[in-house]
């Protein structure tokens, strides 16, 4: 695999689109200087390009292996992880108090985009550790933080998230894993968890499992779930590693993609664990980790989309077929208009998704670090609104773009000789991870829209309309045309949002939720178009080819995506009626 991060596009998206400058001078980011962006991205690109990308197809072919000693990572992955760890990448955005560098989350997201693009199976390992770190910082005791955070932040240890059980998928409240109190204040954890990403491996010296389980006599459902820390290796009082805990991988899942990421069936047989947070309040603690993972999974969609675009673009320059004006003999397929249209579709959608994720990262940092409560509250509302969109819209985009990459390759895309097929297979898990995209849509309309009585979307739409106005004010004919499309998209999203709010208030929730996925798709399209338009306006001061590229992407997105927005409102407001009203005929249910 050949991968080269689009460094200029990424830096521009951070600074001019996601507005990373809002974090300058804030106390938690005392080490941050805009001059750091380029050297950090350049160094991360070297690791992604020179170390991780060459292992991508190797990992796909060999996968991880379960042995009598535990799970062995794919060839080369342990050495690659050592370079990742020694480079300090795990602690990029972690607080200095725990050995981190205290840099913005959005900058760390850009770095992780490269690692996921070069090798998604590898990127999944630190992704779960990020969530474990955030959960411990937010909910751990002082002793737990001192025991686990320094080594997690350093990358010496990795973290996992243990929710799913054979009978409890998205319905986490149905889990049965037990936690029995021990006399010393610890708990004996017994149960089985499935689909545990990097649940066991040999790339780090310890694995810190965050496990949901039930205490004796806990209430039924999600109200009776607690969260526990269960280390693979026990940690002695002096910080050294002790005996092996009673937890192990008893099987590796056979998957369609991400073969080098070990997806484990984990067995806890009276394993020693410690409570995080309050009894029966574990789901609230776990949501800290899940929200971190949701944004990072959205970033996976961006990353795989970028990798698919680069792979398809390279192939389109090399593959010769058909004739084209001005070309002697068979022409590279890049000369064919439909191929260029497909590649532009891929690139525009990736650029929109990248900006959504980066902007969500900036909002997350502001929600914690802004000096005044009003700014923190506004940023938290923005983070909450963008998180389900980043997760669902960006991962759906990643699958679609990877599919287009296969299409560009033609028959070769269906063969194992090209990377296109692997990227498509790898991408397909992301819309399922961390709450399926249907659940994200329900969360968007049920909590993020209705929970704020529409205020979160009204503020967002105000910014969209301001971007349209700034584009129109340039008097550039192309930007004026883009502005008109963006304004029409905003009007459509406002109409759909108002309908959603009324449907939820009138207790017609079934009909509202039937349109939730279509609503999220429209929201992602309009907000993505807003960021692309902002980029095109901001790029007016850049050099010619870069400015032209931003304008081309925004214009193409406006005419092919935003132009459809007004006609999609009825699909949200009425699209669910036919199957809801005829459920018995369609599905055999009343």
Residues of the chain above pLDDT 70, percent: 99
Which residue in this structure is represented by tokens 């545990």?
196
Task: Extract the tokens encoding 238.
Answer: 């002096």
How far is it, in rounded angstroms, from Cα 198 to Cα 262?
5
Predicted local distance difference test score (pLDDT) of residue 159: 97
Average pLDDT over residues 441-463: 96
Average pLDDT over residues 13-21: 96
Write b or e for each residue in 533-558: b if 16 or more Cβ atoms lie within 10 A of its Cβ, otherwise e: bbbbbbbeebeeeeeebbbebbbbbb
How far is it, in rounded angstroms, from Cα 215 to Cα 274?
12
- Secondary structure class of 145 (helix, strand, coil): helix
Predicted local distance difference test score (pLDDT) of residue 170: 72
Contact criterion met (CB below 8 Å) for 405 and 413: yes
Q: Is pLDDT of 254 > 70?
A: yes
How far is it, in rounded angstroms, from Cα 110 to Cα 127?
13
How far is it, in rounded angstroms, from Cα 471 to Cα 558?
13
How far is it, in rounded angstroms, from Cα 325 to Cα 346?
25
Which tops the pLDDT comparison, 166 or 382?
382
pLDDT band for position 507 (cuts 50, 70, 90): low
- Secondary structure class of 194 (helix, strand, coil): strand
Average pLDDT over residues 42-65: 97
Tens digits of residue pLDDT in 165-188? 988 767 777 789 999 999 999 999
Phi and psi for 479 in degrees, rounded to 5?
-70, -35
Predicted local distance difference test score (pLDDT) of residue 128: 93
Predicted local distance difference test score (pLDDT) of residue 541: 84
Contact criterion met (CB below 8 Å) for 334 and 340: yes
Average pLDDT over residues 15-34: 92
Residues 6+ apart with CB under 8 A from 254: none
Q: Where are the alpha helices (DSSP H) in 119-267?
A: 120-139, 142-154
How far is it, in rounded angstroms, from Cα 286 to Cα 435?
13
Tens digits of residue pLDDT in 119-168? 999 999 999 999 999 999 999 999 999 999 999 999 999 999 999 998 87
- The pairing of strands 157-162 and 206-213 is parallel
Write b or e for each residue in 155-179: b if 16 or more Cβ atoms lie within 10 A of its Cβ, otherwise e: bebbbbbbbbbeebeeebbebebbb
Q: Is pLDDT of 241 > 70?
A: yes
Tens digits of residue pLDDT in 397-419? 999 999 999 999 999 999 988 99
pLDDT band for position 248 (cuts 50, 70, 90): very high
How far is it, in rounded angstroms, from Cα 170 to Cα 173?
9
Q: Is pLDDT of 577 > 90?
A: no
Please give the span between the terminal C-alpha atoms of the chain, in angstroms, as a whole number.
52
Which residue in this structure is represented by tokens 């607080």?
95
- Identify the DSSP state of 245: P
The rounded mean pLDDT for the chain is 95
Annotated catalytic residue within 205, 434, 495, 543: 434
The H or E element spanning position 340 is helix 337-369
How far is it, in rounded angstroms, from Cα 260 to Cα 148?
26
Catalytic residue check, 96: no
């Amino acid at each position: 695999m050949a991968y080269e991060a689009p460094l200029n596009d990424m830096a521009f998206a951070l600074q001019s689109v996601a507005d990373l400058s809002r974090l300058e001078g804030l106390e938690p980011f005392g080490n941050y200087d805009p001059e750091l962006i380029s050297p950090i991205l350049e160094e991360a690109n070297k690791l992604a390009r020179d170390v991780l990308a060459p292992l991508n197809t190797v990992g796909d072919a060999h996968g991880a292996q379960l042995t009598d000693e535990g799970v062995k990572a794919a060839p080369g992955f342990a050495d690659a992880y050592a370079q990742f760890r020694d480079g300090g990448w795990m602690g990029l955005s972690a607080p200095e108090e725990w050995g981190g560098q205290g840099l913005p989350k959005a900058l760390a997201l850009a770095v992780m985009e490269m690692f996921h693009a070069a090798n998604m199976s590898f990127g999944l390992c630190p992704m779960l550790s990020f969530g474990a770190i955030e959960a411990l910082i937010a909910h751990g005791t002082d002793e737990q933080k001192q025991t686990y955070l320094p080594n997690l932040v350093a990358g010496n240890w990795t973290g996992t998230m243990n929710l799913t059980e054979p009978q409890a998928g998205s319905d986490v409240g149905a889990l049965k894993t037990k936690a029995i109190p021990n006399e010393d204040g610890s708990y004996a954890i017994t149960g089985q968890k499935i689909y545990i990403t990097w649940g066991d491996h040999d790339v780090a010296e310890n694995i810190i499992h965050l496990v949901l389980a039930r205490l004796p006599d806990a209430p039924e459902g999600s109200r009776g779930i607690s969260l526990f820390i269960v280390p693979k290796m026990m940690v002695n009082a002096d910080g050294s590693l002790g005996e092996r805990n009673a937890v192990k991988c008893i099987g590796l899942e056979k998957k369609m993609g991400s073969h080098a990421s070990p997806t484990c069936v984990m067995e806890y047989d009276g394993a020693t664990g410690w409570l995080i947070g309050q009894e029966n309040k574990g789901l609230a603690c776990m949501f800290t980790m899940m929200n971190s993972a949701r944004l990072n999974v959205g970033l996976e969609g961006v990353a795989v989309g970028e990798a698919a675009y680069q792979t398809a673009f390279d192939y389109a320059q090399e593959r010769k077929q058909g004739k084209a004006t001005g070309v002697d003999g068979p022409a590279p397929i890049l000369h064919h208009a439909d191929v260029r249209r497909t590649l532009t579709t891929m690139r525009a959608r990736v650029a929109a998704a990248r900006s959504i994720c980066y902007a969500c990262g900036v909002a997350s940092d502001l929600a914690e670090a802004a000096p005044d409560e009003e700014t923190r509250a506004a940023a938290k509302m923005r983070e909450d609104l963008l998180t389900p969109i980043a997760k669902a819209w960006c991962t759906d985009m990643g699958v679609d773009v990877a599919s287009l990459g296969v299409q560009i390759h033609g028959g070769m895309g269906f063969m194992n000789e090209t990377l296109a097929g692997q990227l498509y297979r790898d991408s397909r898990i992301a819309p399922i991870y961390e709450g399926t995209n249907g659940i994200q849509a329900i969360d968007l309309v049920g909590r993020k829209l209705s929970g704020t009585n529409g205020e979160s979307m009204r503020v967002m739409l105000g910014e969209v309309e301001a971007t349209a106005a700034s584009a129109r004010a340039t008097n550039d004919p192309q930007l004026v045309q883009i502005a008109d499309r963006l304004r029409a998209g905003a009007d459509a999203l406002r109409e759909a949002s108002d309908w959603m709010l009324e449907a939820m208030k009138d207790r017609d929730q079934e009909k509202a939720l039937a349109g939730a996925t279509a609503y999220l798709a429209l929201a992602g399209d309009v907000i993505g178009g807003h960021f692309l338009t902002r980029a095109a306006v901001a790029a007016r001061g850049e050099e010619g080819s870069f400015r032209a590229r931003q304008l081309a992407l925004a214009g193409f997105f406006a005419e092919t995506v935003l132009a459809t927005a007004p006609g999609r409102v009825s699909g949200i407001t009425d699209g669910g009626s036919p199957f809801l009203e005829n459920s018995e005929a369609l599905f055999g249910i009343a």
